[in-house]
Amino acid sequence: MKYSKLYFLGILLTFLVSTGVKVKAQDKDLLDLVDTDKPKKEVVKNAFKSIRVINGHSMEFLSPGTMDFRILHRFGQINIPNTFAGFDQASMRIGLDFGLTRYLQFGFGRSTFKKEYDGYLKLAPLRQSTGHHAFPATIAFVGGITLNSLPYADPTIQNYFSSRLAYYGQVIIGRKFSEGITLQVTPTIVHNNLVPLANQPNDIYAVGFGGRLKMNKRTAFTWDYFYVVNGLQKDANNVPLNYNPLSIGVDIETGGHVFQLHLSNSAGMNERAFITETTGNWEKFDVRFGFNLSRIFQISHKK
Amino acid sequence: MKCPILLVAALSIVTVSNAQKFFTKTGKISFDATAPKSPENIDGVNKNSICVIDSKTGDIQFSVLMKGFEFERALMMEHFNENYVESDKFNKTTFKGTITNNESINYSKDGVYPAKVKGKLDMHGQSKDLETEGKITVKAGKVMVAASFVAQFDDFKIVIPQLVADKVAKAAKIIVDCTLDPLAK
């Protein structure tokens, strides 16, 4: 009898403890019972508001199935008198960019400057991501071509179509460090099939440094600088003819559009033009006001 | 010696009825924030919502990953995540509540039962008490939950900028449509 009493007590104790635990378990999160999945891989988005930092390509990609209609303007140099701070002149580029997949994008455009056409393909083998198989940075490659369509400078000689062409290749290594800070480095090579002078290199190397500081949800401060390693030209008196392009600006997102307003010493709006033909000197304030206007259209629908 | 056996039996009955929980990881929760002047429909759907019901206590809980909302336009999805609900900061919206008329719902008998739910909705870092009515349908061992309610953006500190104030509604109608299976545990 004594033994069975003990047994009884034991069961009673187990019962009390187990109901106690149960009551506690009910207070606990029911969701924990089923929400056991590991976080999925997720590509980090909105490193930049736009696919261009200002002039150069950014680490950002268009969403698949969207088209970016971009209108770019560069006005005249602010420091030229009687031009209403340069607004009397304008040079522009009109372009379309398409997002194919999250890792592939292409685009083309035409600029007033040299009546130049340009096109590119941008591919990201790795994009910055979180979760399973996370990766800390985006690594992307850009290959582009430009076509100068001005009349031949000297029609009396034999001209070749290939002399109108230039190519560029670029690696974009970028990281969105936080919601507020994104930085990227873009080693670039520009190849001109034809250069005006024999002492000018055909291959020009440059390294771009771009970034943004997000100020609030809809505005960001951006900068875009290219250090040209070997292509800066000087005249006979050793006066520089071209400079490293530097642009600083503000991105404003209005919902439907992204406006990129900036000051730049460059008038060119494709890689060949702004890396090899930037003539303004920031020290003399040879800068221009410019803006990029971007509007994204959904061209393929999932449903 | 009979007493322990009875107790064990009683205990096991309690355990069985307690284990009667239902869940889904593929629930559908959609929202609509279209205003009369919206140039397009502003709506999204999340097809991977988690919902758990404890039929014994009437506890009902939802969890939705904000990045899981799908939109017809990619840009709308980006704006939703980046500017409105700030998914990087507040990745989940949860609702934890109880079915107040749980005793009138028989989870083992097919039928349609009106359900009253009371609880807390946690979204965008804000918590708000919520009360709504819905419908629970029991069919072939599955439990279907349908409900809709309105969430005011003000309550959750989701700011609609002046520029688009007339193109986005001030509140979202949220529609819940989940089919739950018994939780085997």
The domain tally of chain B equals: 1
Contact list in B for residue A35 (CB cut-off 8 A) is 50, 63
Evaluate whether residue B5 is within a structural domain. Answer: no
Q: Is B36 in CB contact (< 8 Å) with chain A?
A: no
Q: Does residue B74 belong to any structural domain of this protein?
A: yes
**Cα pseudo-dihedral A27, A31, A36, A38, rounded to 10:** -120
Q: Which class for A89: exposed (0-12), middle (13-18), buried (19 or more C-beta within 10 A)? A: middle
Rounded to a whole number of angstroms, the distance from the CA of A127 to the nearest CA of chain B is 17
Which ipTM score applies to this complex? Answer: 0.77
In a domain, B172, yes or no: yes
Task: Provide the domain limits for residue B36.
Answer: 21-182
Answer yes or no: is B12 within a domain: no
Which tens digit of pLDDT belongs to each residue from B79-131? 999 989 999 899 999 999 999 999 999 999 999 999 999 999 999 999 999 99
pLDDT tens string, chain B, 185 residues long: the values are 555 565 555 554 444 444 489 999 999 999 999 999 988 899 999 999 999 999 999 999 999 999 999 999 999 999 999 989 999 899 999 999 999 999 999 999 999 999 999 999 999 999 999 999 999 999 999 999 999 999 999 999 999 988 888 899 999 999 999 999 998 76
- The answer to the question of residue B6 being in a domain is no
Contact across the interface for B183 and A302, Cβ inside 8 Å: no
Q: Which pLDDT score, from 0 to 100, does residue A71 have?
A: 97
* Chain A to chain B Cβ contacts (< 8 Å): 84
Contacts of A179 in chain B (CB under 8 A): 88-89
pLDDT band at A68 (very low <50, low <70, confident <90, very high): very high
Q: What distance in Å separates residue B142's CA from the closest CA in chain A?
A: 17
In angstroms and rounded to an integer, the radius of gyration of the C-alpha atoms of chain B is: 20
Interchain CB distance below 8 Å, B74 and A45: no
Contacts 24+ apart (CB under 8 A), B33-36: B33/B153, B33/B168, B33/B169, B33/B171, B33/B172, B33/B173, B34/B169, B35/B166, B35/B167, B35/B168, B35/B169, B35/B170
- Give the CATH number for residue B113: 2.40.128.110
CA-nearest of A121, A106, A125, A135 to A43 is A135
The answer as to whether B127 is a domain residue is: yes
Q: pTM to 2 decimals?
A: 0.83
